[in-house]
């Protein structure tokens, strides 16, 4: 079903997080949330597979948790580096942890590795969505990371921060952060209205509105088949991607170094693949992996990746153009 090598693995080491983001399932549906940590030995066995022998990236992030809150996150990094020495390690985090922990973790990282901070605004605004985040600890983490690793600031545009984009970019440059990832989201879909208004929604030009052309019978270009987003969750379950991990029918307990080869050619994923060409794919595949040709768009966001080595006036023009794009 899949080709012989993968190039991207997304791992959720833990479902723990100290933040209380209002649109995270841990906040709005706590009864469905059971905090847990991925067993390091399960991960060790999982990445021994030859299928993962040429990975470009292992990203530690997750659907629910933040990897920095796994008590053995440094061991996860070192195990990855030992098994896959040329693979880049990516840490995707909200940034709220103490200076000593940041120093210990970054000491284990290398210059080729990446730390991506999801920070939506500045001191006066980030906590509006990232509830319980600590601005001083985030800044400390950014400073420590930027001295050694490729550091990225990911900034989702909300109503409370859209006027702070340029100020945030200037701060990122001061911190020697290399990349600013400006992100439009499509989550402002009418599910969270208060008196007919979504209080978090930015103006329309800062929202992403993906096309729904041919949605009934979409052509699927599956990222899992293209090796870009295999997923291991904090329960030790494999899924073809982090999105379909929300459907327990496609969450398969990982066991043994030959697990992935058996699973990729097994009945569950074979049936999933057959649905892609049937005209009636799984609803998640239909939303997330529609072919980008024929004016179809996929994904739930649109992003502008800004190289912060550029002059601010050049960046300002890029942001302005991006704000006008759909």
Mean pLDDT, residues 185-190: 81
CATH number of the 8-324 domain: 3.20.20.70
Instruction: Flag whether pLDDT at 186 surpasses 80.
Output: no
pLDDT at residue number 107 = 97
Cα angle at 289 between 283 and 293, to 5 degrees?
125
Average pLDDT over residues 314-325: 94
Return the SS3 of 256.
coil
Distance of CA 87 to CAs 44, 46, 82, 116, 226, Å? Answer: 15, 15, 10, 16, 18
The answer to whether residue 137 scores a pLDDT higher than 80 is yes
CB 185 within 8 A of CB 156: yes
Average pLDDT of the residues in 213-217? 50
| pLDDT reported for residue 268 | 84
Task: Note if the pTM is more than 0.85.
Answer: yes
Please report the pLDDT score of residue 261 as a whole number. Answer: 78
Q: How many CB atoms are closer than 10 A to CB 158?
A: 23
Q: For the chain, give the percent of residues with pLDDT over 70.
A: 90
Is the pLDDT assigned to residue 84 strictly greater than 90?
yes
Whether pLDDT at 218 is above 70: no
Our CA angle for 207, 165, 15, nearest 5°, is: 70
pLDDT of residue 301: 62
Report helix, strand or coil for 248. helix
Comparison of pLDDT for 53 and 176, the residue scoring more: 176
pLDDT tens, position by position, 86-95? 999 999 999 9
Q: How many beta carbons lie within 10 A of that of residue 203, not counting itself?
A: 10
95-112: average pLDDT:
96
Q: Of 50, 53, 22, 1, nearest to 199 (Cα)? A: 22
Residue 192: φ, ψ to 5°: -130, 35
* pLDDT tens, residue by residue, 275-312: 888 878 888 888 778 765 443 444 456 899 999 999 99
Average of per-residue pLDDT values in the chain: 88
Please calculate the CA angle 269-9-60 and round it to the nearest 5 degrees: 130
| Confidence band for 214, pLDDT divided at 50, 70 and 90 | very low
Whether 232 has a pLDDT exceeding 60, the answer reads yes
From 107-116, 163-172, 187-196, the region with the lowest mean pLDDT: 187-196
Structure confidence at residue 56 (pLDDT): 93
At residue 191 the predicted structure's pLDDT band, cuts being 50, 70 and 90, is confident
pLDDT tens for each residue of 16-39: 999 999 989 899 888 888 889 999
Distance CA 11, CA 62 (A): 6
Which has more pLDDT, 227 or 297? Answer: 227
145/162 Cα distance (integer angstroms): 25
Residue ranges per structural domain of the chain: 8-324
């Amino acid at each position: 079903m899949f080709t012989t090598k993968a190039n991207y693995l997304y791992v959720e080491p833990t479902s723990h997080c100290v933040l209380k983001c209002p649109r995270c399932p841990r906040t709005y549906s706590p009864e469905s949330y059971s905090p847990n940590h991925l067993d390091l030995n399960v991960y060790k066995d999982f990445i021994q597979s030859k299928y993962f022998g040429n990975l470009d990236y292992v990203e530690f992030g997750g659907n629910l948790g933040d990897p920095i809150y796994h008590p053995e996150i440094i061991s996860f990094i070192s195990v990855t580096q030992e098994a896959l020495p040329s693979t880049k390690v990516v840490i995707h985090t909200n940034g709220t942890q103490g200076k000593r922990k940041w120093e210990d973790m970054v000491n284990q990282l290398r210059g080729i590795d990446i730390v991506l901070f999801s920070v939506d605004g500045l001191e006066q605004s980030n906590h509006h969505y990232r509830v319980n985040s600590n601005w001083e600890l985030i800044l400390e983490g950014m400073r420590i990371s930027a001295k050694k690793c490729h550091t990225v600031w990911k900034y989702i545009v909300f109503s409370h921060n859209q006027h702070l984009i340029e100020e945030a970019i200037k701060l990122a440059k001061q911190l020697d952060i290399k990349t600013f990832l400006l992100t439009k989201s499509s989550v402002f879909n009418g599910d969270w209205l208060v008196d007919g208004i979504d209080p978090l929604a930015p103006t329309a030009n800062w929202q992403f509105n993906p096309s729904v052309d041919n949605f009934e019978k979409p052509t699927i270009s599956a990222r899992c088949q293209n090796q870009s987003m295999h997923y291991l969750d904090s329960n030790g379950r494999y899924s073809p991607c982090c999105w379909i991990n929300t459907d327990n029918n496609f969450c398969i307990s990982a066991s043994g170094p030959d697990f992935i080869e058996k699973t990729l050619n097994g009945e569950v994923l074979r049936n999933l693949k057959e649905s892609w060409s049937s005209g009636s794919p799984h609803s998640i595949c239909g939303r997330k992996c529609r072919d980008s040709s024929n004016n179809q768009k996929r994904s739930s966001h649109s992003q502008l990746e800004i190289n912060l080595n550029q002059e601010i006036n050049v960046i300002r023009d890029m942001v302005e153009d991006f704000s006008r794009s759909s």
